[in-house]
């Protein structure tokens, strides 16, 4: 009986073992990255099963150059990525590299960091006159001096310390990886600002530091976000310039007046933490009382004067209360910054108004009250 040596479906003349000659056994290719399992470590060489006809070898030279943290990952049974350096060397071995595989993945990670704009924290591995070197896995990134926070030079950064930066340029072909500490700082500050804005509410009392003074108010940092204390919110007393009350780097308490989440702005107040003098006028002043005052402003209908006491409330001397004589304008009898004696003739806490008079200072109807006050003093 003749046996069909080709088997069912075989081509005429084919040997049943011919497929072994044509199969590639999943042969590795130069530059390919595969995942494999460490099956043995011999003479400081790492043997890796990459699913091919034979196992691959990571050379002892590469293993010797690895840092301790990386070596701890390379133990029997662990799955690792490897780069195919040579599918078959002169001795028939497949030569692999863990470092090159890790570096390839690091370039991919760097591209992802660039696309996502995420902040990366790495270790400073060196410095030079132009900037600092930072590890991004197995590859080295460079932060130029111009991209360091507050234009700090490389001398202020110590090797071995961690630093946060953002990837701003990736060019694998030129082995160029550029990062920016400045950009990361802005990102971190913005993130902190947003979290703080979400955590505080109107009416909160916060501790802060005066960071800038302007004609219209003071800027105060309350832990990562700056708010404005407007000139009108510095004090219940009239202040012409913030420098009269504050200086840069002062540590102060502030009251949160308003939060604008959309514009990320804070309106703060200092005076809201102090007693409102208009709530105390009933206890501090009375109609008929004589006070020292200073003229602050002239108008067609009268003059404004500020009481020269602890609270420095401002009141109006109507033009009809400036003099016994008829006058056309207050400047006929008074001028700004002039010190005068006035008598309180009206108190309206709800409207926050004081009515003052100069012509009634010597009025006979207040003689008895003046004598009583003089005796009391």
Domain boundaries, the chain: 22-102, 117-186, 202-273, 277-376
CATH number at 117-186: 2.40.50.140
CB-CB neighbours of 271 under 10 Å:
18
Give the CA angle between residues 82, 87, 90 to the nearest 5°. Answer: 125
What residues of the chain score a pLDDT lower than 70? 1-25, 150-156, 368-377
Cα–Cα distances in angstroms (integers) from residue 280 to residues 238, 306, 307, 310, 377, in the given order: 17, 16, 14, 12, 21
> Which fold, 22-102?
OB fold (Dihydrolipoamide Acetyltransferase, E2P) (2.40.50)
Calpha distance 221→174 (Å, rounded): 43
pLDDT at position 9, please?
A: 45
Calpha distance 312→314 (Å, rounded): 6
pLDDT at position 159, please?
A: 84
pLDDT at position 3, please?
A: 39
**Count of alpha carbons within 13 angstroms of residue 131, beta-carbon side:** 20
Q: Kindly state which CATH superfamily the domain 202-273 is placed in.
A: Nucleic acid-binding proteins (2.40.50.140)
Q: Does 117-186 match 202-273 in CATH topology?
A: yes
pLDDT at position 5, please?
A: 42
CATH number at 277-376: 2.40.50.140
Calpha distance 311→374 (Å, rounded): 22
* Tens digit of each residue's pLDDT (9 = 90 or more) over 70-116: 888 899 999 999 999 999 888 888 999 999 998 888 999 999 999 99
Calpha distance 258→274 (Å, rounded): 18
Two tokens, residue 165: 């930066």
DSSP result, 306-374: EE-SSS--EEEEEGGGT-SS--SSGGGT--TT-EEEEEEEEEETTTTEEEEESGGGG-GGGHHHHHHHH
* Tens digit of each residue's pLDDT (9 = 90 or more) over 23-50: 455 788 888 889 999 999 988 899 999 9
């Amino acid at each position: 009986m003749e046996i069909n040596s080709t088997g069912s479906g075989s081509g005429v003349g084919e040997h049943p073992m011919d497929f072994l000659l044509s199969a590639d056994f999943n042969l590795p290719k130069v530059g390919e990255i595969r995942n494999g399992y460490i099956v043995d470590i011999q003479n400081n060489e790492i043997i890796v099963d990459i699913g091919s006809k034979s196992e691959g070898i990571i050379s002892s030279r590469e293993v010797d150059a690895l840092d301790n943290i990386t070596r701890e990952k390379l133990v029997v049974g662990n799955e690792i990525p490897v780069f195919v350096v040579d599918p078959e060397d002169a001795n028939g071995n497949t030569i692999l590299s863990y470092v090159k595989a890790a570096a390839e993945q690091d370039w991919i990670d760097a591209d992802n960091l660039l696309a996502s704009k995420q902040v990366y924290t790495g270790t400073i591995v060196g410095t030079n006159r132009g900037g600092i070197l930072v590890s991004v896995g197995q590859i080295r990134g460079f932060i130029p001096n111009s991209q360091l926070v507050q234009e700090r030079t490389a001398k202020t950064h110590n090797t071995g310390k961690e630093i946060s930066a953002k990837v701003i340029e990736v060019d694998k072909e030129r082995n160029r990886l550029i990062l920016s500490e400045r950009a990361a700082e802005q990102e971190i500050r913005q993130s902190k600002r947003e979290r703080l804005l979400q955590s505080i509410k109107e009416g909160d009392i916060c501790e802060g530091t005066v960071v800038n003074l302007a004609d219209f108010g003071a800027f105060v940092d309350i832990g990562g976000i700056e708010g404005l204390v407007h000139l009108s919110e510095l004090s219940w007393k009239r202040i012409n310039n913030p420098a009269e009350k504050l200086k840069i780097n002062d540590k102060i308490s502030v009251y949160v007046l308003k939060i604008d989440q959309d514009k990320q702005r804070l309106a703060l107040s200092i005076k809201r933490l102090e007693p409102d003098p208009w709530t105390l006028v009933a206890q501090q002043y009375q109609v008929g009382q004589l006070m020292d005052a200073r003229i602050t402003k002239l108008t067609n209908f009268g003059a404004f004067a500020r009481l020269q006491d602890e609270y420095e409330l401002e009141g109006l001397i109507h033009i009809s209360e400036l003099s016994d004589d008829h006058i056309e304008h207050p400047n006929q009898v008074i001028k700004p910054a002039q010190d005068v004696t006035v008598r309180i003739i009206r108190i309206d806490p709800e409207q926050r108004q004081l009515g003052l008079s100069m012509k009634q200072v010597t009025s006979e109807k207040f003689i008895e009250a003046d004598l009583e006050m003089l005796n009391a003093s």
